[in-house]
Amino acid sequence: MTSLPEPQQNLKIIEQLLEQLPAARPQLVVLPEACLCFGAGDKKQRSYAELYEPTAPLQGLQGRLAELARQHGIYLLVGTMPIIDDAKAEKFSAASLLFGPDGECLARYNKIHLFDVDVADNTKTYRESQWTEAGEQVVTVETEFGTLGLAVCYDVRFPELFRALRSKGAEIIALPSAFTKVTGNAHWHVLTRARAIEQQCYVVAGAQVGEHANGRETYGHALIIDAWGNVVSECDGATSPCLASTHVDLESLTSIRSNIPVAKHFARSKKVIHE
Ligand SMILES: O=C(O)CNC(=O)[C@H](CS)NC(=O)CCC(=O)C(=O)O
C-alpha cells in the first residue's frame, strides 16, 4: 500500500484489496505498518489513536476492521495503528492488532524497537520514540493455521526477538513494515530471509511503497518467505496496491526443523555466551 494521511481513504483501499483475495480459508492477511494513517506527522496519528477495547461490540476504526475480518471470514492483521491505554496519554503504541473471522480482536503487539535512526545518505532523521511508547511484550497467538508471532518493521534487525518468538512456538511471523527506500534497497531481502532461515518460520511482511504525503519514500516489496528462506511471493516496487500470497505448508516446517535442529543446538550458545 501507499497509505495516505486519512484513515477513511486507506480503509477504502483496504476494502478494495480484500475484494481480490484468493478463495482459500482459513486465511491470514497482513497489512503494512501504519496502514491507516501515513505521512501526516505524529499529531495527526495521535488524533486518530483509539483506546484499546478488545471486547465486542468494537467501535470506531477497530470496529470497521473487525467487521471487515468478519465479512471476509479472514484473520486480518492491521499492520500497526495508534493505540492508547489512557485517553490523556501523549504517546501512543504502534500496535499490531489481529482480528479474527468472528470479528473479535485476538491479539495486540506493541512495536518494541523504535526507529530512532539517521538514514545515512541524506538529511533524513527519524525519532519514532518521540511520539511512540515502546512495547514490552513478546506476543504469539494460536490460529487455525498455526502459531503466529508478531513483529514490526525495524524489529527485523533484532534477531533476539525472533528467537524469543520461536521459543514461544511461532511458526509464521508477521512483519508489517514501512522500510525506507534507502535501507530497504540495501537490507530488506537479506534481513527478512535471514530471520526466516534462522528461526525456521514463514515470514509474512506487508509493506508500504512509494512516495507519501510528507515526501517520504518507502521501499515496498511486500513478501512471503518460507522456512527454508525462499521468497515464495513478492510484490514489486510498483505503487499500485498489490497482494502477495501463498499456501502455508506447516509439514515442510516440521522436516526443516528436524533435519537442522537449531532450537535444540541453541542450548549450546546459551551455555557459553553470557552477555
Ligand atoms: O511512523 C510512521 O508513520 C510509520 N512508521 C514507520 O515508518 C517506522 C518508524 S519511523 N519505520 C521504520 O521502522 C523503518 C525501519 C527501516 O527502514 C529500517 O530498519 O531500515
Question: Mind listing the pLDDT tens digit for each residue in 226-245?
Answer: 999 999 999 987 888 999 99
Quote the mean pLDDT of the chain: 95
Examine the residue annotation and report whether 111 is marked as an active-site residue of this protein.
yes
Amino acid 122: pLDDT: 60
- Using one digit for the tens of pLDDT, what is the confidence trace for 79-118? 999 999 999 999 999 999 999 999 999 999 999 999 999 9
pTM of the model: 0.97
Q: Is the CB of 188 under 6 A from ligand 1?
A: no
CATH for the 7-272 domain, from 3.40.50.300, 3.40.50.720, 3.30.43.10, 3.60.110.10: 3.60.110.10
CA–centroid distance, residue 179 to ligand 1 (Å): 6
Examine the residue annotation and report whether 33 is marked as an active-site residue of this protein.
yes
Q: Cα dihedral sign for 171, 177, 181, 187? A: negative
pLDDT at residue 175 greater than cutoff 80: yes
Amino acid 6: pLDDT: 96
Amino acid 238: pLDDT: 81
- Mean pLDDT confidence for 183-209: 98
* Catalytic pick among 35, 37, 111, 133: 111
> Which mutation among 47, 113, 115, 191 tests ligand 1's pocket best, with the greatest number of atoms within 8 A of CB?
115
Amino acid 123: pLDDT: 62
- Tell the residue nearest (CA) to atom 13 of ligand 1: 154
Q: Is the CB of 38 under 6 A from ligand 1?
A: yes
Other Cβ atoms less than 10 A from the Cβ of 99: the count is: 25
Examine the residue annotation and report whether 142 is marked as an active-site residue of this protein.
no
Domains in the chain: boundaries:
7-272
CA–centroid distance, residue 79 to ligand 1 (Å): 12
Amino acid 120: pLDDT: 75
- Mean pLDDT confidence for 205-234: 96
Q: Cα dihedral sign for 262, 264, 265, 267? A: positive
- Using one digit for the tens of pLDDT, what is the confidence trace for 139-163? 999 999 999 999 999 999 999 999 9
Please, which residues bridge with residue 127 across strands? 116
- Tell the residue nearest (CA) to atom 9 of ligand 1: 115
* Catalytic pick among 35, 37, 105, 153: 153
Amino acid 58: pLDDT: 87
Q: Is the CB of 155 under 6 A from ligand 1?
A: no
- Mean pLDDT confidence for 33-48: 93
Amino acid 79: pLDDT: 97
